[in-house]
């Protein structure tokens, strides 16, 4: 292409070559750096490039560490959200009370007899016997599992397969966290403190005797409250229909839970403190006959055993060690006055 020349071009090129020769010879040779200079610069450039590569690697490592930390955080959040479906061995609950024996738990296929103090992992399936019961600490709440009940423990919910559970999120030292009881007919979430959920083959019954609960199913969302004297109850039939009613705050529906109570240690507590606890255990409200009785209850301190004892024994212990006495009252009230010296 470019090397093909016409006769005119050749004449011009000769002229051009003569002129270029003049320019280039006048300018002389290009100055060159010395060998020593070149050697020094090459060494310097190699070292600088190596430094730059090391710096780049370091930046990537920092970036990778940041990304890894972010991914870990996201995975942790996703795990918290999705864990109910993952049978991963993560301690999410602890057995507090094993009542009546024959209660087993653990991952499906590796069930074992449960003992008090044992940790429960996400995905563990708990089964109580016909005469047994379990009390567990779950998300800061006191959860009691009635007889002949099957529950799967997940990170963010308890899956009630069948039977009955009682949840108290307002007891001593309780963290006010959500505890969701999920069933095939819908889920129950507390907005208050004490509620039960019972699932039979053909219905779901949930009652709240302190605070509020929300029932959710595909068709319904109902909020149910307790009041000073009655519990709210919701019944969900197999066909999904929902009915609400008022019920007593104590009775057979609740009494079974008292048997599985984790109990309370009396030492160092005031009578008032343990009486409030005992009243709640039975679904009652503590009332004092007068201020004198209230003062005695609030100012005194109990001593004795560190063993946790259930609510019926608590009342016996308080009467035996103080002037406080339990007086006849309605079923929703634990009435306390002062006895004679």
Residue owning tokens 């519990």: 231
CB of residue 138 to another protein, shortest distance in Å: 54
CB of residue 63 to another protein, shortest distance in Å: 14
CB of residue 58 to another protein, shortest distance in Å: 13
CB of residue 60 to another protein, shortest distance in Å: 12
Own/partner pairs for 116-120, CB < 8 Å, 24+ apart? 118/94, 119/91, 119/93, 119/94, 119/95, 120/91, 120/92, 120/93, 120/94, 120/95, 120/153
CB of residue 61 to another protein, shortest distance in Å: 16
Cα 62 to Cα 34, 65, 73, distances in angstroms:
42, 5, 16
Q: Which is nearer to another protein, 9 or 290 (CB)?
A: 9
State the helix-helix crossing angle for 311-321 and 271-281, rounded to 10 degrees.
150
**Cα–Cα distance, 92 to 75 (Å, whole number):** 17
Q: Which is nearer to another protein, 26 or 110 (CB)?
A: 26
State the helix-helix crossing angle for 291-299 and 271-281, rounded to 10 degrees.
100
Q: Is 100 in contact with 132 (CB distance < 8 Å)?
A: yes
CB of residue 65 to another protein, shortest distance in Å: 20
Q: Which is nearer to another protein, 33 or 240 (CB)?
A: 33
**Cα–Cα distance, 142 to 257 (Å, whole number):** 11
Site residues (vs another protein, CB under 8 A)? 1-3, 12-13, 15-17, 19-33, 37-38, 40-42, 44-46, 48-53, 55-56
Q: Which is nearer to another protein, 6 or 110 (CB)?
A: 6
Q: Give 43's contacts (C-beta < 8 A, 6+ positions apart).
A: none
Q: Nearest 5°: phi and psi at 221?
A: -140, 115
Q: Which is nearer to another protein, 56 or 131 (CB)?
A: 56
Q: Which is nearer to another protein, 39 or 244 (CB)?
A: 39
């Amino acid at each position: 292409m470019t090397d093909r020349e016409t006769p005119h071009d050749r004449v011009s090129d000769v002229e051009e070559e003569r002129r270029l020769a003049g320019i280039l010879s006048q300018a002389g040779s290009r100055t060159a750096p010395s060998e020593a200079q070149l050697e020094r610069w090459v060494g310097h450039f190699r070292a600088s490039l190596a430094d730059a590569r090391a710096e780049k690697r370091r930046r990537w490592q920092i970036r990778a560490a940041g990304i890894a930390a972010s991914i870990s955080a996201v995975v942790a959040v996703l795990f918290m959200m999705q864990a109910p479906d993952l049978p991963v061995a993560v301690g999410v609950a602890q057995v507090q009370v094993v009542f009546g024996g024959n209660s087993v738990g653990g991952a499906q296929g590796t069930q074992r007899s449960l003992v008090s103090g044992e940790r429960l992992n996400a995905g563990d399936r708990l089964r109580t016997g016909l005469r047994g019961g379990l009390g567990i600490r779950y998300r800061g709440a006191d959860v009691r599992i009635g007889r002949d009940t099957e529950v799967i423990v997940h990170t963010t919910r308890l899956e009630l397969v069948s039977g009955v559970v009682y949840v108290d999120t307002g007891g001593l030292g309780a963290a006010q966290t959500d505890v969701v009881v999920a069933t095939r007919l819908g889920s129950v979430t507390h907005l208050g403190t004490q509620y039960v959920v019972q699932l039979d083959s053909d219905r779901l019954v949930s009652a709240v005797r302190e605070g509020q609960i929300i029932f959710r199913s595909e068709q319904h969302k109902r909020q149910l409250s307790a009041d000073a004297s009655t519990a709210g109850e919701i019944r969900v039939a197999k066909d999904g229909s929902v009915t609400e009613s008022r019920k007593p705050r104590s009775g057979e529906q609740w009494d079974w839970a008292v048997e599985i109570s984790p109990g309370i240690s009396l030492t160092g507590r005031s009578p008032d403190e343990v009486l409030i606890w005992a009243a709640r255990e039975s679904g009652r409200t503590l009332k004092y006959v007068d201020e004198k009785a209230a003062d005695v209850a609030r100012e005194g301190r109990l001593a004795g055993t560190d063993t946790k004892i259930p609510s019926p024994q608590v009342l016996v212990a308080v009467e035996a060690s103080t002037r406080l006495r339990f007086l006849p009252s309605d079923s929703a009230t634990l009435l306390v006055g002062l006895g004679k010296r």
